[in-house]
Amino acid sequence: MSSVTDDRLPRRRTVVREYLGALSDPHTYSLVHNRTALFGFAWGIPVPIFSVGVDLIISGHGSVARSLTEHPFHILFLLHPILFAFVFGAFGTVRRRMDRQIVHLVGELEQTVAGLAQANERLEDLDHLKAQFVANVTHELKTPLVAIRGYNESILDLRFGPLTPKQKGGLEVAVRNIDRLQKLIEELLDFERIEAGALKLELSEFDLVPAVEAALESMRPAIESRKLTAQRQLPASLRVQADRDRIAHVFLNLLSNAVKFTPEGGTIGVDAKEENGRARITVWDHGLGIPAEAQKFLFTRFWQADGGSRRRHGGTGLGLAIVKGILDAHGAPIRILSTPGAGTRAEFELPLAVPVESVKEGMP
């Protein structure tokens, strides 16, 4: 529960409790009831007096008593105060019933709120347990990978002697799959951190252009194996303020999607430019695009546009959820624009680095 609610709830509860306490006190009840009846009676008196007065003035003669008894509605005049008292008394009863009902409802509401608070606490405990569990599992999964990766790669690097071509080929396959497994584990952990709201950004100022180039470079094997063309429209330099490693992760995930969902021989690209005092970045492809009905699920974890494509394209379905988590933490919402059959564009904006001159101006 947020701290704001924590502060307010008890105070609000106290006020409600005091009010209800006063209402449910029998003395207050009878007071309210009797006062309402008296009030009605009191209001009942001036009305007939006023009417009789007006009648006397109009007729211009006779006594008050005669006027009262001869008046066509004299019974009503006489009974006025009593009627008023009855009506107001009834109001009092109704109001008392309503107050009781309110006491009852507020009591129920309080119980519900308390129940919800308890449920919330349990959920928070569960969340904490889950985060701890994922961290432990991740650590346990990574530890055996230390030896598996270490020995496979050391042997592949010929540290422990020469290899036949077949041994070398086999080890290369093994290492490639170790990479894949390790990436999956890292993604799960990243995702868990984002879910738990525990993603801590390490903001720094850096040039986005080399970061984009590095991401494209690390995607090169995949780009080449699918005979894709990678285009870029980048300025000479574009300094931003962001978490460098996380943004590199964003580029890798977006590019990896672009590569995955673009048919062989197609085109993908990254554009970046300064616009309205921010860095505007687009990762695009001329690929399959995303069906309209599927676009709303894009950021749903584990979800993939074509359930059947899981085998063809691989992946966990965590990529975009992680991208969104990282960019949200930067306060930089991502937009995905996609036309089925024509391609997809992922756009986001990052704050520019503070120019050196203005930093100097700000100093004493």
Partner 1 sequence: MKKILLVDDEPDTLRTYSDLLSSEGYEVATASSGDQATGMMSGYRPDLILLDVMMPGKNGVEVARELSGRPDAKDIPIVMITALSSSPPGNGIETIPGIRRFIYKPCRPRTLLEGVDHVLRYGR
> Interface residues with partner 1 (CB under 8 A)?
138-139, 142-151, 153-154, 157, 159-160, 178, 182, 186, 189-190, 200
* Shortest spacing between CB 142 and partner 1, in angstroms: 4
Cβ closest to partner 1, residue 142 vs residue 301: 142
Cβ closest to partner 1, residue 149 vs residue 313: 149
Helices (H), the chain: 3-24, 26-44, 46-59, 64-70, 74-156, 165-195, 208-218, 220-225, 244-260, 309-313, 319-329, 356-362
* Shortest spacing between CB 172 and partner 1, in angstroms: 14
The edge-to-edge listing of strands for the beta sheet with 267-275 is 229-233, 267-275, 278-285, 343-351, 335-339
* Shortest spacing between CB 221 and partner 1, in angstroms: 16
**CA dist list (Å): 158 to 116, 155, 161, 171, 280:** 62, 5, 5, 11, 45
Locus of tokens 């520019």: 352
Cβ closest to partner 1, residue 36 vs residue 253: 253
Q: What is the DSSP string of 202-213?
A: -EEEEEHHHHHH
* Shortest spacing between CB 193 and partner 1, in angstroms: 8
Cβ closest to partner 1, residue 99 vs residue 190: 190
Cβ closest to partner 1, residue 249 vs residue 260: 249
The residue count of the chain comes to 364
Cβ closest to partner 1, residue 25 vs residue 140: 140
Locus of tokens 């001869």: 70
Cβ closest to partner 1, residue 73 vs residue 160: 160
* Shortest spacing between CB 25 and partner 1, in angstroms: 52
The rounded distance, in Å, linking the Cα atoms of 55 and 72 is: 11
| Per-residue burial over 88-117, b = 16 or more CB atoms within 10 Å of its CB, e = otherwise | bbeebeeebeebeeebeeeeeeeeeeeeee
* Shortest spacing between CB 137 and partner 1, in angstroms: 12
* Shortest spacing between CB 145 and partner 1, in angstroms: 4
